[in-house]
Structures are given as C-alpha cells and as structure tokens.
C-alpha cells in the first residue's frame, strides 16, 4: 500500500505531516536560504486579540552602551564598513539606498558569500526606478533577498537599521551620498546580545508578517529599543516629560503637537531646552519664535536625536512627526554610556556655536 493510504487512514499522522509542511513552507518563504537560523515568533490568536494597536508593554530604561559616530566626516564610509566587520549574514531596513560606494561594498560581500536580506520602502522602490534597477543588477543572486514593505500595512519603511553576526547599527542616515558626506547624521553601533537578537527577530517578523499583524507588537524587545508605530511616542514623551535639568535635540523638523507641547512644558518647569533643526523655511520660523532656545545651522540636519539630563541619548530614524511616531516603521535606541553621550555633545555644540 502507498504512504498516502496510511495518511488517509490515520488523521493524526495526516495532521502532523500537514503541520510540518506548513512550517517548512513558511520558513522557506519568509526566512529564506540566507538566514535560516532566525526564528519568527508571532503571538497566538488569543494574545493578539488582547493587544490593541500601538500598545506597548511596560518598561524600565536599562544601561546600554554603544559606539557613536557622526557625519559629515570624510571617513564615515570606512567607519561604517569597519563596524560591520566581515559578516556572514546581514539583514537591513532602508528608506533610501542610492550610494554607489555602498552598493560596491555590498557587491563585494555577495561575491564573498555574504547573505543579504533587505526590506526597502515601497514608494522609494518605485520612484527611484533607475537606482533600484542598478541595485538589483548589482546584488542579484541566491544569497540576496530584496523585498519592499508593501505587505506591512505601514505608511513608510523609514527605518535605517542593520543587523549582522553579533552587531547592530541604528542610524539616522539613509544610504545616500548626501547622508554619508554632507548631512549631520548620527550612527550607533551596538553589540549587546539581547538588542542584536531582538533586531534580528524584528527583521524576521517584518519580512514574514501579513498586513493584519503589522501594527501589533509581536514580542517584548529590549526596553531601550524604540520601534514605531508601537512605542516611539510613549518613549519619546517619557524622556521629555521626565527631564529634570536639560534637553538637547537635533531634528530634521518638529511638527507633532504633543511633542511640541511636551517641549514647551519642559521649558516652563525650568528645564534648559535647546533645539537644532534642519535648514527649512518652517524651521527658521520655529527657531525665530523660540528665540535663544532654537537654532538652524548652515549645514543640513537630518539627524533625529535627543539627549535628556546628560544621561539618556536617543538616536534613531524617527522624526518628531505624527507620521513617524504613529504610522511608519522606525527604529531607535536609547544609550547611557558616557563615551557616546560626550561624542554626541561634541556634534551638537559644533553647530550650536554658530549662533
């Protein structure tokens, strides 16, 4: 008798085989050959039903160290490559990728057998058609998986983060020539095992999830990770509202009413608030309204970073806007180590002193 006969005779055996086939199918489709070691953890139906959109779990900030560097700096590309080391597998979130220098780095990785998984913003993917064609030609092969974010049900894949073998990079910069050589940007390199594992886990989730799951927090990550649309607003406001002595921030712009109100309230209660913004007409009006507490430097700020009480440094992809905090995929991190904080303060003061 054929094996199919015994499957039909044994419902239990049939269920086991179907479960195994389904698991393998999801694994191969979602995880791909390039990073089969990453597990995807999706909440059960009961846990999803009890969790509303944008709801995060309670957290307490922890001590987290990271290596921070910033642009414009002529060695920024080399510093970025050095931080990545010689990976075996690299997973990425990107909004925009047009740097020819960086594409050459990736092409060398592929030639050396490095597996690459990339989630790229869908609208940029379509708009920058020539750039995407060049990217696809340069990074083709069995070890490369490039996917848009159209399946996620978010507004924009605006995150700029990378995770490889034991290393994560969370940054404010796109991979463009201007981001790496002209703008004011910040980059954080982390090796904390839990943070790196959580980034890998989140990337696997974003790569395999369906639209119906995309706005629900899929698992509990490290409290110092900040991920939109789940907990960005809550953690941004917790830092600003908890400030006792000082707030320093470098932002492309500030348009979210709740964030603006929190910054005003901080100044009212005596907190020294200093804001630097990107060179845009609306930002110049914002700075003029706030007088000595705000500045628009001559070099363009694309950074999204916040230092509170000289203790908590948030660096990430999220702007202070409704769209970033509530609708996009954004990733940031809160650091506590003195080296990173002092380096960030150097970058802040270099442009603040233009006032």
Q: C-alpha distances in angstroms, 28 versus 21, 24, 33, 124?
A: 11, 6, 7, 27
In this prediction, residues 14-35 reach a mean pLDDT of 31
Backbone angles phi, psi at 12, to 5 degrees: -65, -45
Per-residue pLDDT at 101 exceeds 80: yes
Strand partners, 150: none
CA 9 from centre of chain = 51
Residue 64: how many CB atoms within 10 A of its CB? 22
Cα-based distances in Å from 340 to 93, 157, 184, 227: 23, 27, 16, 21
Tokens of 269: 């209660």
Cα–Cα distance, 103 to 106 (Å, whole number): 5
- The whole-angstrom separation of Cα 339 and Cα 329 is 28
Q: How confident is the model at residue 48 (pLDDT cuts 50, 70, 90)?
A: very low
Strand 272-277 versus strand 294-295 pairing type: parallel
Tokens 């007088």 correspond to: 291
The band of 332, judged by pLDDT with boundaries at 50, 70 and 90, is very high
Contact 96, 175 (CB under 8 A): yes
Q: Which of 230-234, 268-272, 284-288 has the lowest mean pLDDT?
A: 284-288
Q: Which residues contact 85 (CB under 8 A, 6 or more apart)?
A: 164, 165, 167
Q: Is the overall model pTM greater than 0.85, yes or no?
A: no
Task: Tell me what pLDDT residue 166 has.
Answer: 93
pLDDT at 18: 31
What mean pLDDT is predicted for residues 126-143? 72
DSSP class of 135: H
160, containing H or E segment = none
Give, as one character, the DSSP assignment of residue 38.
P
Q: What is the CA radius of gyration of the chain?
A: 22
Say yes or no to pLDDT of 296 above 50. yes
**CA 152, 154, 160, 161: dihedral to nearest 10 degrees?**
-40
Specify the pLDDT at position 341.
98
Phi and psi of 294, rounded to 5°? -145, 155
Two domains, one topology: 67-223 and 232-352: yes
Determine the average pLDDT of the residues in 183-205: 96
The rounded distance, in Å, linking the Cα atoms of 328 and 226 is 12
pLDDT at 195 over 50: yes
pLDDT number for residue 49: 29
For residues 317 and 19, the model is more confident at 317
Model confidence at 38: pLDDT above 50 = no
Q: What is the mean pLDDT of the chain?
A: 82
User: Is residue 80 pLDDT above 70, yes or no?
Assistant: yes
CB-based burial, 260-280: b 16+ in 10 Å, e otherwise: eebbeebeeeebebbbbbbee
Of the ranges 3-7, 94-98, 109-113, 328-332, which one carries the lowest mean pLDDT score? 3-7
Query: For position 123, what pLDDT does the model report?
Result: 81
Assign 211 a pLDDT band (cuts: 50, 70, 90).
low
Nearest-angstrom CA–CA distance, 236 and 260: 11
Give me the mean pLDDT over the 186-214 stretch.
Answer: 90
Q: Which pLDDT score is estimated for 37?
A: 26
DSSP state of 225: E
**From CA 142, how far away is CA 134, in angstroms rounded?**
17
**Range 312-338 average pLDDT:** 97
Mean pLDDT of all residues in 11-24: 34
Specify the pLDDT at position 355.
65
Residue 127 or 79, more confident: 79
Q: Are 331 and 93 in contact (CB under 8 A)?
A: yes
Where do we find the tokens 């075996």? 88
Other C-beta atoms within 10 Å of 299: how many?
15
Per-residue pLDDT, averaged over 204-216, amounts to: 78
Q: What is the mean predicted confidence (pLDDT) over 324-341?
A: 97
Of the two residues 151 and 339, the one the predictor is more confident about is 339
Higher pLDDT, 209 or 191: 191
- Give the three-class secondary structure for 18: helix
**CA-CA distance, 280 to 254, in Å (whole number)?**
11
Give yes or no for residue 50 having a pLDDT over 50: no
**232-352: CATH architecture:** 2-Layer Sandwich (3.30)
Q: How far apart are CA 159 and CA 328, in angstroms?
A: 8
**Is the pLDDT confidence value at 169 over 70?**
yes
Distance of CA 60 to the CA centre of its chain: 20
Beta-bridge partners for 93 = 119, 161
Q: Does domain 67-223 have CATH number 3.30.870.10?
A: yes
What are the domain boundaries of the chain?
Answer: 1-30, 67-223, 232-352
228 pLDDT more than 90: yes
Q: What is the pLDDT of residues 83-92, one digit of tens each?
A: 888 899 999 9
Residue 70: phi, psi to the nearest 5?
-150, 160
């Amino acid at each position: 008798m054929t094996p199919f006969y015994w499957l039909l005779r044994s419902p239990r055996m049939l269920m086991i085989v179907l479960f195994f086939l389904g698991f393998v199918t999801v694994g191969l489709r979602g995880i791909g050959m390039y990073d089969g070691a990453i597990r995807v953890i999706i909440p059960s139906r009961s846990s999803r039903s009890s969790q509303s959109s944008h709801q995060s779990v309670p957290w307490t900030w922890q001590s987290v160290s990271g290596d921070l560097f910033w642009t414009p700096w002529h060695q920024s590309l080399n510093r970025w490559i050095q931080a990545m080391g010689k990976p075996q597998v690299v997973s990425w979130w990107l909004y925009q990728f047009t740097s020819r220098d960086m594409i050459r780095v990736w092409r060398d990785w592929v030639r050396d057998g490095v597996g690459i998984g990339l989630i790229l913003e869908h609208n940029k993917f379509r708009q920058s058609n020539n750039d995407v064609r060049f990217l696809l030609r340069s990074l083709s092969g069995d070890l490369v998986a490039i996917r848009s974010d159209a399946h996620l049900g978010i507004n924009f894949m605006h995150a700029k983060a990378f995770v490889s073998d034991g290393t994560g990079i969370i940054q404010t910069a796109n991979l463009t020539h201007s981001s790496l050589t002209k703008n004011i940007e910040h980059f954080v390199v982390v090796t904390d095992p839990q943070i790196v594992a959580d980034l890998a886990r989140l990337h696997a989730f974003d790569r395999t999830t369906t639209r119906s799951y995309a706005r629900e927090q899929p698992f509990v990550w490290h409290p110092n990770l900040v991920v939109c649309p789940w907990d960005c607003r809550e953690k941004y406001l917790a830092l600003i509202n908890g400030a006792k002595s000082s707030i320093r921030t470098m932002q492309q712009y500030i348009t979210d009413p709740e964030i603006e109100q929190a910054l005003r309230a901080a100044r009212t209660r005596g907190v020294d608030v200093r804001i630097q913004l990107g060179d845009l007409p609306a930002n110049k009006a914002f700075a003029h309204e706030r007088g000595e507490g705000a500045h628009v430097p001559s070099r363009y700020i694309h950074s999204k970073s916040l230092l509170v009480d000289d203790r908590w440094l948030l660096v990430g992809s999220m702007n202070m806007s409704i769209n970033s905090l509530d609708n996009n995929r954004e990733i940031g991190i809160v650091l506590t180590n003195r080296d990173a904080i002092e380096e960030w303060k150097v970058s802040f003061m270099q442009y603040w002193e233009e006032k």
